[in-house]
Amino acid sequence: MGDLPIEMLHGKDQGSQLLHLPDRVTVEGLIHQSLEAKEFSYCPYSNFRVGAALLAHDGRVFTGCNVENACNNLGVCAERNAIAKAVSEGRRSFKAIAIASDLDDQFISPCGGCRQFMREFGANWDVYLTKPDGSYIEMKVSELLPVSFGPEDLSMKKVVKIPNEY
C-alpha cells in the first residue's frame, strides 16, 4: 500500500468525514463499528480476526466478522458475512464498507473472493482499509478489482455457437 497517493491516506486525528447521508454516519463511526465487529470473529485456526461494517444507501449499517471452519474452504470472510446479512434483509445498494483487522504495520485488504463479492453490488462505492488505530485508506471497489466482471457483463453480446450434429 506504500505506493498510494498521500491524499488517500487518512489518520484518526483528521476531521470527521461525513458520508452524506440523512443519519450522518461518519467514516470514523463506520470504522469503529468494523473494529467492534472484529471482536466477534471466530478464528481458532488462523487467529486472524477481521470485522466489517457495511453502509447501505438507506443509512442502515450491517456488520460481519470472519467465521472459520475446520474444513478450510467453508470459512466465511467478514465482508461477505456483512453483505449477505444486508442482502438477506432486502438491501442491494451500498455506500461504503469499512474493514478492520489486528494488522498494525499495514492496512487490511479484502481477499480476491471478497473483492468479487463486493463488485456484484457495484463498482463505484467506497471501501475503507483500516488499521487498529483508526487510520484508513479510502478506495473504490473498482480500484480494488480493476477490469472486473459484474452482473452487467452477462447481458453483453455473445458469439452464438451452433452445436455439431452427429
93/89 Cα distance (integer angstroms): 12
Active site residues: 79
Q: Tell me the domains of the chain and their CATH numbers.
A: 27-155 (3.40.140.10)
Confidence of residue 109 (pLDDT cuts 50, 70, 90): very high
Helix (H) / strand (E) element for 84: namely helix 78-88
- The mean pLDDT value for 97-105 works out to 97
Indicate whether 24 pLDDT > 90.
no
141/15 Cα distance (integer angstroms): 24
Confidence of residue 77 (pLDDT cuts 50, 70, 90): very high
Indicate whether 108 pLDDT > 60.
yes
pTM (2 decimals)? 0.83
| CA distance readout (Å), 152 to 87, 146, 149 | 19, 15, 8
Supply the pLDDT for residue 10: 55
Confidence of residue 160 (pLDDT cuts 50, 70, 90): confident
- The mean pLDDT value for 41-45 works out to 97
61/46 Cα distance (integer angstroms): 27
Confidence of residue 11 (pLDDT cuts 50, 70, 90): low
Supply the pLDDT for residue 158: 86
**Could you tell me if 137 and 10 are in contact, meaning their C-beta atoms sit under 8 angstroms apart?**
yes
| pLDDT, tens digit (0-9, with 9 covering 90-100), for 118-132 | 999 999 999 999 999
Q: Is 114 annotated as a binding residue?
A: yes
Indicate whether 18 pLDDT > 70.
no
CA atoms within 13 A of residue 75's CA, in its CB half-sphere: 25
